Structure 1
Amino acid sequence: MRVHLVVNPGAGDGMDGPAVVRLVEDAGHEVVGTGAADPGWERSLAREVELVAAAGGDGTISAVLLAVAGRGLPVGIVPLGTANNIAGDLGLPTGDPAGAVASWRSAATRPFGLPVVDGAPGPRFVESVGLGLFAELIAEADAADPDEGVDEARERLARLVERAPEFDVRLAVDGRERRDRVIGLEVLNIASVGPRVVLDRSTRSDDGRVTVVPIRAGDREALAAWLRSPGPHAAAVPSVEPGVRAVVVEADAPVHVDDEVVDADRVLGVTTAALVSVEVLSPSSSPTTG
């Protein structure tokens, strides 16, 4: 295939651009363009491109998916990041860039839906929108070790879980209104967020739905224990609401969209009614995030 390669050489795996180009060419593909995921990079796409490849972590892959939406081009992924949550959602091998590229030849395309977020910068997101806990984790990242791995980030999150303040939230989930008191709330488009924290294994990016996950003070002990000794099951957050088409959230709490803390309105909305999908290469029809 003729491939345009978008590379983040600073991702967790540390491969530079030329090394990724060689990886793709050694697999029998032709690299017809390269660059970073800088604003407007998609305008440099050549007409003969058959595949856009995103080589990097979740931030780079998200930028590529959002930029390519509506252009009719499939996306292949070379996971080079630390968490690689999106690659896990697609069933791609993580920690094995060559294996990920090799999987393109036999992979099928599947839709990756991009829901709409209203009341915060977007207008679409890839992984999750959340308030409280995970937004605080992202905000702390600037002071963390730049070489921090998944285990270290999970320990940092566990400590945050133990001290995170509660806040009140008003919710309307598919029109059903309620009040809650939480330390965090996530609206998921994929199964895992942050340092590979699997909040709901049933969440899929190809079904036109999102999952609402309120994290309450009563979940602190079990969630912190999972973060320090994660097993094959999802993290211990019992109140998971999958299969949601629309949610409105009102709260005073820090907000993140994917991996960025953002300035947002007090009232946020997420909907899949105007969903746009990107075709991505996936070797599996089921998420295998772990």
Structure 2
Amino acid sequence: MQIEVVVNCGAGSVDGTEAEAQRDEIVEAFAPLGVEPRVGLVVGAALEAAVRAAVERGADVVVMAGGDGTLGTAAAALSGSDAVLGVLPLGTFNHFAKDLQIPLDLAEAARVAVEGETATVDIGEVNGRAFVNNSSIGVYPVMVDLRDEIRSSRGWGKVRAVPVAVARVLRRFPTRRMRISADGEQWSLRTPFVFVGNNSYEVGPAGIGARTNMDGGMLCCYVAKVESRSGFARMAFQAATRGASAAPTLESVCSGDVRIEAGGHRVLVAIDGEIATLRSPLVYEVRPAALQVRVPVGSQPVGDPPVGPDAESGVEAEDE
């Protein structure tokens, strides 16, 4: 079995100045498994090209070392190929790995990449850009954009910059007029937050943001039908403490595609925690069973498909 590793030197726990040391740690993690992978250190725009090059060289498993944004880029390159995605979770939040029950420990994750089972999961797309977790419009991408500005100006890390960015966004509390179409339903409203998940998310007292399945062939769209800070806070509290069904101003619908028309020609969008500016309308589509990925043997990373628009679901915004 031919295994190649692509390391995103800009991922949450990868310091570009220590990339060579990270490479050595990865090689050491695979050594007890009898594997000597080719390890490439890349940044930014070079990620997708590096994955495609690994596939062209005949890699059976392309292991991505990075966060959720890294995996979304890899998904675009791997979908439709015979190569399987392996995951070394080196990002800030690593939601995709957690949903698939992939260990966060480097050596254990390497073992899954070599000895694990192969599962098939869906990919979401927005205007042709792939995502493995979710995409959102409104307060979350604005917060991430501000957070990155704060990091750049003050030299802070992500975790330290987040509270300052959140406070600024809540003070401004931007809303936007949107027309949303999904599963035969239409909403025309001003909202601070729209979230489109690759399959259904849960929220409630037991936890926030775990996916109920990753192969249901559906996008699940969540819309905040509020325009004030107090209304938004009330909605979030109701959903977090009693579940989404207890939050009447949080609408949800699951569909194979979602179309969002936003005021203005360009929209700031979060895609697996990465920020992009896209043209309106935003056309979301699901690509069922488009990605093969290594998961732990005997794990059950997916559940039953969502039962429809009234399924109790929830939202997880932080995703990097």
Partner of 1:27: 33
Partner of 2:136: 130
Partner of 2:106: 97
TM-score normalised to the size of structure 1? 0.79
Specify which of 94, 97, 114 is matched with residue 123 of structure 2.
114
Partner of 1:143: 149
Distance 1:52 1:241 in 2: 35
Residue identity in the other structure for 1:8: N
SS at match of 2:81: coil
Structure 1 vs Structure 2 CA RMSD: 3.4
What's the CA shift string for 1:171-225, capped at 9, x where partnerless? 1111211223311111111677xxxxx8643453322111111133422256489
The alpha-carbon distance between structure 1 residues 189 and 155, as it changes in their structure 2 partners (threshold 3 A), is farther
- Deviation at residue 147 of structure 1 after TM alignment: 5.2
The alpha-carbon distance between structure 1 residues 190 and 7, as it changes in their structure 2 partners (threshold 3 A), is farther
The alpha-carbon distance between structure 1 residues 204 and 158, as it changes in their structure 2 partners (threshold 3 A), is farther
Pair 1:66-2:76 in alignment? yes
Partner of 2:268: 254
- Deviation at residue 278 of structure 1 after TM alignment: 1.1
Gaps of 5+ in 2: 15-20, 202-206, 304-315
The alpha-carbon distance between structure 1 residues 57 and 132, as it changes in their structure 2 partners (threshold 3 A), is same
**Contact 1:170-1:179 within 8 A present in 2 as well:** yes
**Contact 1:111-1:280 within 8 A present in 2 as well:** yes
Matches within 5 A, 1:1-290: 1-14=1-14, 16-36=22-42, 38=46, 39-45=48-54, 47-94=57-104, 96-118=105-127, 122-145=128-151, 148-150=157-159, 153=162, 156-157=165-166, 160-161=169-170, 163-189=172-198, 200-215=209-224, 216=226, 217=228, 218-221=231-234, 223=236, 239=250, 241=252, 243-252=254-263, 253-272=267-286, 274-275=287-288, 277-283=290-296, 284-286=299-301
Residue identity in the other structure for 1:285: Q
Larger Rg: 2
**Contact 2:133-2:272 within 8 A present in 1 as well:** yes
- Deviation at residue 51 of structure 1 after TM alignment: 0.8
**Contact 2:123-2:131 within 8 A present in 1 as well:** yes
SS at match of 1:264: strand
The alpha-carbon distance between structure 1 residues 222 and 162, as it changes in their structure 2 partners (threshold 3 A), is farther
- Relative contact order (C-alpha < 8 Å, sep 6+): which is higher? 1
The alpha-carbon distance between structure 1 residues 158 and 141, as it changes in their structure 2 partners (threshold 3 A), is closer
- Deviation at residue 257 of structure 1 after TM alignment: 3.0
- Deviation at residue 155 of structure 1 after TM alignment: 6.6
**Contact 1:72-1:278 within 8 A present in 2 as well:** no
- Deviation at residue 86 of structure 1 after TM alignment: 1.6
- Deviation at residue 277 of structure 1 after TM alignment: 0.9
What number of residue pairs does the alignment pair up? 276
Which stretch shifts more, 79-88 or 9-18?
Answer: 9-18
**Contact 1:89-1:190 within 8 A present in 2 as well:** no
**Contact 1:255-1:263 within 8 A present in 2 as well:** yes
Using the aligned pairs only, state the percent identity: 25
**Contact 1:109-1:279 within 8 A present in 2 as well:** yes
